[in-house]
A and B are shown apart, each in its own frame.
Chain A
């Protein structure tokens, strides 16, 4: 059992490393060329975490034009509060704009707070089994996320679709406003995997030069 885990871990790590390298090459060369909005609408996958994460991401979603449609929200199975907040926002959008569509999907959490690292690998792999097919089915043009653990398997799935030539998906990560000096764990991972990585404090821009600083956006 241990050998199987170790082998899977090594295999997965190798594949991820390879994907990262390919991804970096693609990013550097072709990022500016991919403009899904040229068609007039952008299909978005929004990763909503719990509590503060959801509040922040919904504030960002509120600012986006009706061209960002349809919107597919993904929340963790164990998250009970985010669904209400999402529905509230979407109902108000329906009053403002015509023909808006949204869906809400649930996937298992990849990591609970204070969960041990050894079990995190298994739960992350478990989340990947759900997030992979979900991203493949939805084929969004853009993934927008801001830090909850659920975003890592979703972004890895998006990365895989891009690397395999199935669908190019822009990954936009906005680090939470609560992160002033250090990135979150999701942020540290997605700093290398995302197309656009936004931070909201100048200290982080200095430490992470690849990031984009627009000031406080939330």
Chain B
């Protein structure tokens, strides 16, 4: 039963994303072909709720919400998400593919995703190009995203408030 539905239905996917039936839709087969053994799906308030199952050497896990998604991100070899989770994922040093809902063009989080893509830190695609991007992307080509320089901020603040030590 499970096996049939996976073959026929387009499954919603996106770790740490709100799946949208119109946008997200590629067969799990693609994951298997690319060598992934497991897909962990956070469906949030999504309308379609696939059942967790296993077929062959591939497993699908599904959950709605977790207090902290950090553990799941740590375990993943690839995170596919909407633009809001960029910093958390990149901060954990994980490869990230951002899928953009092109109906939300004024979403300011897209600005960040686009810039980080230009800087080579993540891959970026629309719902329609998801399958092709997954097949063609090279995760090893992504550049590490280094943490921000908070010490520069601290030095700046000490200077402007007059806490800076003058030798």
Contacts and interface: CB of A to CB of B under 8 A. Distances in A.
Interface in A15-67: 35-38, 40, 42, 52, 55, 59-60, 62-65, 67
Interface in B143-161: 148-154, 156-158, 160-161
B56 interface: no
Interface stretch (A87-95, A100-108, A175-183): A175-183
A65 B111 contact: no
B112 A59 contact: no
B161 A65 contact: no
Interface residues of B, number: 23
Interface string A76-87: 000000000000
Nearest to B157: A64
B64 interface: no
Contacts of B156: 198, 212, 214
A contact residues, range: 35 or more
Interface string B100-112: 0000000011011
Contact of B115 (A37, A38, A68, A201): A201
B70 interface: no
Interface of A: 35-38, 40, 42, 52, 55, 59-60, 62-65, 67-68, 141-142, 170, 172, 174, 177-182, 184, 195-196, 198, 200-201, 212, 214-218
Q: Which of A42, A67, A178 has the most CB of B within 10 A?
A: A178
Contacts of A37: 158, 161-164
Interface in B71-119: 84, 87, 108-109, 111-112, 114-115
Contact of A60 (B108, B153, B158): B153
Contacts of B157: 64, 68, 172
Interface string B3-15: 0000000000000
Interface in B3-32: none
A42 B114 contact: no
Contacts of B164: 37
A60 B149 CA distance: 9
B154 A65 contact: yes
A59 B154 contact: no
Given A170-B160, A177-B87, 7 more contacts: A37-B163, A38-B162, A62-B150, A172-B160, A179-B108, A180-B111, A198-B156
Contact of B151 (A63, A67, A141): A63
24 contacts: A35-B160, A35-B162, A36-B161, A36-B162, A37-B163, A52-B84, A55-B87, A59-B150, A62-B150, A63-B154, A64-B157, A65-B158, A67-B163, A68-B157, A172-B157, A178-B109, A179-B108, A181-B111, A182-B111, A195-B160, A198-B156, A214-B149, A214-B156, A217-B150
Interface string B48-66: 0000000000000000000
